[in-house]
Chains A and B, each alone.
Chain A
Amino acid sequence: MTSHLKGLVLAGLTSSAALFASAAQAVEIEYWQYFFDARVEAMETLIANFQEANPDITVTMTHFPYADYRTKVAAAIPAGEGPDVVQLFYGWLNDYVEAELIQPLPADTFPASMVDEEFFPMVQAMKDGDNYWALPTAVRSLALFYNTRLFEEAGIESPPETLDELVETAAKLTKRDGAGNITQVGITAGMTAQDHHWWREGLIRQFGGEPYTDDYQTVNYNSDAGRKALDFYTGLFTGDNPVSAIGFMDEPQAAFKAGRAGMHIDGSFRIGSLNGTRGLKWGVTELPANADGTRSNYSSYWVNAITTKAEGEKYDAAVKFMQYITSDEAMQIWLDTVGELPAKPSVGMTEENAQNETFGPFIRGLEYANTTKFANESGQRQLMVEMVERIQLEGMDPAESLAVAAEAEQKLLDDYYKD
């Protein structure tokens, strides 16, 4: 009996020793992102491909609902638990760097000069001296969606190319009932959606200004250009014959989906939900240029970074993984699965992608896109919302409202950057 027991123990020991031996060869790293069906699916494909090429590395993906994401990451990494490679919104980079949650990418594998050259220019917001902190797999930009049925009905042949044409086209698409209430808008409006990006990085630059200076730490739109951009924007829904209405059908994208809006400015992430809308026929084109032909766009993205938790062989594995998920192949997979745009011209500007009917306008927009470095995106958006509301609901002079917004935003930025 005892010898039998001894044998069992011995067998157990040897088998566990064998297990440990194999574990020592394979490195396991963890990857975290927030939960979004298509993103998880795309990442699963990327991980499978990566593991096939690197059989000694195992990548485990964990995902959380967006609402818990930040708190979980913040609690896990200092405790030595969480991810080795983490996904974060570009606007959070400062906070992550300051909290020492992430480490810079190695300059020998990701030299700044190489990244500068290979990626679309707005990615440079992630650079600090000779090092990049993080890199995206995919990016997003804005474009002008239009309802082809309503275009045909109004006898419009092609989508507007310039801002003046935009207003003319919108006027043709606007419908009113007997009492003069708008029942169909020419173009949707609302700073609550993507319009604040269009105003900041699109219109202001197109009217000859620069929205911020000093690396987005100083507000610079309380200027002639800012005023002209604001007048253009408010002109869409104020005056005698507005072509739009704030809050029309509750939300801009709802009005567009319901076929009650001729045009709508939105991000590439909207494509999926528009594709699933029955009875809606739509097209998309680049954001309109100004009279000189200048275009400007806004881009945002999620980036991947290596956390401070990754050390030794895990660090090496994490670097390899970063290399793969920022490769051309990964970007194409991401575009095909999620519909988010490639972060490199080498993938984006291929004939097939750049001339793609749906993705093309967004991808071409990346070449002249800027990325706002937000201190608090929802807070800064709120100030734009209120700037318009003061004019519309309280009858404030636009110049004064612009000045109030600029001052409030400067205060917000100062508070954020003071330490």
Chain B
Amino acid sequence: MSQDGTTSVDYGHDYYNETHLGGHGDYSWDNQHWRDFFMSVADRLIGAFAPATVLDVGCARGLLVQAFALQGVDARGLDISEHAVASAHPDVRDRLSVASATEPIEGRYDLVTCIEVLEHMSEADAQLAIDHLTEVSDRVLFSSSPEDHDEPTHINTNPGEAWAAWFAERGFFRRTDVDVSMIAPWAVVFERGALTPHEIVKRYEQQYARVRTELLEKRRALLDADRAVNSMRAQLDHRPVDTDEVDRLRAEVAQHRHTALVSRDHVIGLEAENGRLERDLSLVMLELRKLQRRVKGLTKRRAELTAKLQETRRRLDRNRKRVAQLEAASAPPASLPRRAARRVRRTLA
């Protein structure tokens, strides 16, 4: 193992639980996110290849191994990290061993998986590892990130075509009919085969044609969408503006606002004036009612007094008549008192 590679000490507790692996926290079988992920990876691979034996190279805490084992596959794992293997779930611990892929691997497997491992090794070690993987199986699920260059242990990132070419040197070719991008966009299944150039070209052309068709269709759709956006934008920017019309409408709006103001003022003014007049009217009505009562009282009093006056007049007339009668009667020569009364009346008349 070369000095350029990473070693077991680079993969302690913090590597698994803190900074790396997507930040889903605790990287263990007890973490539902990881458990679900590896169960579905195992499902997918069992569905595609029905392997009886599997070796996971760079198995860490053996989550994928455990997922396979749960479904009856005789799975094994090896990892350089003593910490990882030691902290694996008890159900899977016996299936794991501490070992480096730079050393020859024993046994024979229907499937070897090697997920996000080789980018952590030096270039030379990685080539050794590919040798050893391809020696123990005809089929390798391989995934190695071409990205995340800021992760300190990614010391050997390579584009997908580099890995594919290296596998091809060993007689392994991509299964273009199997899509394992659920593991990672760059995950690939390599399989040993004595393919003729004819077959290889056909396989890749098939893929290439599909992708190119899709690309062309999307380009065309993008172009159409872009044209539609531009034409709408142009309509917004360059819609012919009739300045005269705008000015006319502005003037009209101002005129209507002005009319509204005048009407509003009239209404408010009339209401205020009306309110005051109504109040005055109420006050006048009160006064009128009061005066009317007074007139009624006075009228009644006048009627009473008139009646009394008439009665007095009647009595006066009656008395006058009586006096006249008495005076007219051939009265005996007036007595002394009568004469005296007459004199008094004469003087008073």
Instruction: Decide whether A and B are members of one complex.
Output: no
**Chain A residues in contact with chain B, CB under 8 A?**
none
